[in-house]
A and B are shown apart, each in its own frame.
Chain A
Amino acid sequence: MYTHLRLFFTTALVVATCLFNAPANAAEPTQHESGGVAEGINDQEHKIEHNLEESEEKFDIGSMIMHHIADSHEWEMTHGVTIPLPVILYSADRGIEVFSSSNFHNEHHEYNGYHLVHGESEQIVPVDESRKIYDFSITKNVASMLLSAVILILVFTSIASWYKNNKGKAPKGFQSAMEVIILFIRDEVVKPNVGPKYEKYLPYLLTLFFFILINNILGLLPGSANLTGNIAVTMVLAVLTFIIVHLNANGHYYKHLVKPTGVPAPLLLIMIPVEIVGVFMKPFSLMVRLFANITAGHIILLSLFGLIFIFQSFVIAPVISLFALFLNFIEIMVAFIQAFIFTLLSSMYIGSAIEDNHDADLGH
């Protein structure tokens, strides 16, 4: 299995480099649409660039951190080593356009009528401001997500094949290590919280746990994307849980919303809005918890590393490095804990919506 993974990574890397560098090296005739708007944007762009260069000289720790946390159209492994990623744009008039982000590597950060605006986060804007575009680019986060998806699928299908090929044998090696986690999720998290009908939700919850876990851990690697610290990602996860809960919730759950048990009639006026707000607060808290925990961890680590560059001292750097090492260990723990908590709360959330007897007021 390890050889498979290695083979996959090597080929993927080679293919990616070849694909995205080819158009960059080809001599592209740069389009110059001389227009007032374009000039204005160019000016702004230059200003931002200038600011960035200036701040790079001064070492602006804030922008460094933001640059590392935010998404990007290219994957910067380290300073100077950058993998360009495909840009996919959709606009009503031009349809779908696909090109490499390395095309923006020119003086004006402009290609084919689009600008790559560096700011707090990268954004592609059309030179012609009246056009509306939708950016479906394979950004750094999307690429990292695809990578994690491939890792997950390879790892777990190989484990699954172990079960098929070694029926009746004692668990062994990597499969045995994963089995412990799978059993923990099944027996300690899903089974007691979801209830007797847990098997229907087990695949989703297991995927949820391992997806968050692997992306938390990948996010800790140097030069990687901050996927689970991105609010779009946590939002999708939380919304999926929300949808699953409300597709499967029983009558008790909905009745409880409009008529909470044991509440006197005058209080209903307050309780019903509170209940309804609570319904949306749960996924919202799921979304914010994961996003904030991971992002905060990254910010703390990056701040520490930034301190090294601010002080530029041989005395302070090792101390800070040690501290950063310690925090890295804590972040690894947080990676597990946040994956666990997200799965646990999703399980409780599903369990409280499908349980038959709604007397126990879970999650309030």
Chain B
Amino acid sequence: MSLLTPNPGLIFWMLVVFLLVVFILAKFAWKPIIKGLKDRENEIQGALDLAERTRAEMIQLKSDNEKLIAEANAVRDQILRDAKEAADRTILESKDKAAAEAQKMIEGARETIRNEQQLAVSKIRKEVAVLSLEIAEKVLQRELKDKEAQERLIAELASSARLN
């Protein structure tokens, strides 16, 4: 069968042409094509990696922000609480101060009242003494006229004097 017997001339040409094609394509076609494909793959991989990194960074940033916000909230709460405490304290202090002031004023008033009272009592005593003297004068003047009346007067005086 001629179909099954390889022709030496064709083998020779096939060998030459195919090897030439392999070398030419390997040098001028496959090398740049494979390099281009690999470059592009690397580029895509790089872009994907970058996106992944950026996403992680974004998540990090977001959690940082949240932390910052939480911290700020805590600080604000603290400040508010402090302010409230300070206000309460101030109010309390003022109240105490006012109470003390009032107490002092009351004390002062009492002192004054007491002084006034003593003054009045001593004045009254003086008045009473004066009155007593005047009464005694009047009694003495009347006694001199009537003995009986004298005695009654003395008793009267005595009872009135006991009042004090």
Query: Which A residues contact B (CB, under 8 angstroms)?
Result: 66, 69-71, 88, 119-121, 134-139, 141-142, 145-146, 149, 152-153, 156-157, 159-161, 163-164, 167-168, 179, 182-183, 186, 199, 202-204, 206-207, 210-211, 230-233, 235-237, 240, 295
Q: Are A235 and B8 touching (Cβ within 8 A)?
A: no
Alpha-carbon gap, A17 to B36, bound state (A): 40
Q: Are B35 and A71 touching (Cβ within 8 A)?
A: no
Residues of A within 8 A of B21 (CB): 149, 152-153, 207, 211
Cβ-neighbour of A182 out of B5, B11, B19, B37 (below 8 A): B37
Known interface pairs A119-B2, A145-B17, A161-B32; 14 further A-B residue pairs with C-beta atoms within 8 A, sorted by A's residue number: A121-B3, A149-B17, A156-B28, A156-B30, A159-B29, A182-B33, A203-B22, A203-B30, A204-B26, A206-B30, A207-B30, A230-B7, A231-B4, A233-B10
Query: Which B residues contact A (CB, under 8 angstroms)?
Result: 1-15, 17-22, 24-26, 28-37, 39-40, 43
Residues of A within 8 A of B10 (CB): 71, 139, 141-142, 230, 232-233
In the complex, the chain B residue whose C-beta lies closest to that of A153 is: B24
Q: Are B18 and A240 touching (Cβ within 8 A)?
A: yes
Q: Are B32 and A164 touching (Cβ within 8 A)?
A: yes
CB distance from A119 to the nearest CB of B (A): 8
Residues of B within 8 A of A233 (CB): 10, 14
Q: Are A146 and B17 touching (Cβ within 8 A)?
A: yes
* A152-B21, A167-B36, A206-B25 known; A232 vs B11 contact (CB < 8 Å): yes
Residues of B within 8 A of A161 (CB): 32
CB distance from B18 to the nearest CB of A (A): 6
* A120-B2, A156-B33 known; A207 vs B15 contact (CB < 8 Å): no
Q: How many A-B residue pairs have CB under 8 A?
A: 130
Q: Are B25 and A236 touching (Cβ within 8 A)?
A: no
- Where chain A touches its partner, the secondary structure class is helix
Residues of A within 8 A of B37 (CB): 163, 179, 182-183, 186
Cβ-neighbour of A236 out of B14, B29, B35, B39 (below 8 A): B14
Q: Are A236 and B33 touching (Cβ within 8 A)?
A: no
Residues of B within 8 A of A240 (CB): 18-19
Alpha-carbon gap, A8 to B43, bound state (A): 37
Q: Are B35 and A70 touching (Cβ within 8 A)?
A: no
* A153-B21, A167-B36, A211-B18 known; A235 vs B30 contact (CB < 8 Å): no
Alpha-carbon gap, A207 to B12, bound state (A): 18
Chain A to chain B contacts (Cβ below 8 Å), 20 pairs:
A71-B10, A120-B2, A135-B9, A136-B12, A136-B13, A142-B14, A149-B20, A153-B25, A160-B31, A163-B37, A164-B36, A167-B36, A179-B33, A186-B37, A206-B25, A207-B30, A230-B10, A231-B3, A235-B6, A237-B18
Interface centre among B22, B24, B33, B37 (most CB of A within 10 A): B33
* A70-B2, A240-B18 known; A202 vs B30 contact (CB < 8 Å): yes
Residues of B within 8 A of A163 (CB): 32-33, 35-37
CB distance from A85 to the nearest CB of B (A): 12
Alpha-carbon gap, A71 to B13, bound state (A): 13
Q: Are B14 and A232 touching (Cβ within 8 A)?
A: yes
Residues of A within 8 A of B34 (CB): 186, 199, 202
Alpha-carbon gap, A203 to B21, bound state (A): 10
Residues of B within 8 A of A204 (CB): 22, 26
Residues of B within 8 A of A141 (CB): 10
Q: Are B29 and A160 touching (Cβ within 8 A)?
A: yes
Alpha-carbon gap, A28 to B30, bound state (A): 48
Q: Are B28 and A157 touching (Cβ within 8 A)?
A: yes
In the complex, the chain A residue whose C-beta lies closest to that of B15 is: A236
Q: Are B33 and A160 touching (Cβ within 8 A)?
A: yes
Residues of B within 8 A of A168 (CB): 40, 43
Residues of A within 8 A of B43 (CB): 168
In the complex, the chain B residue whose C-beta lies closest to that of A69 is: B3
Residues of B within 8 A of A66 (CB): 3
Q: Are B11 and A236 touching (Cβ within 8 A)?
A: yes
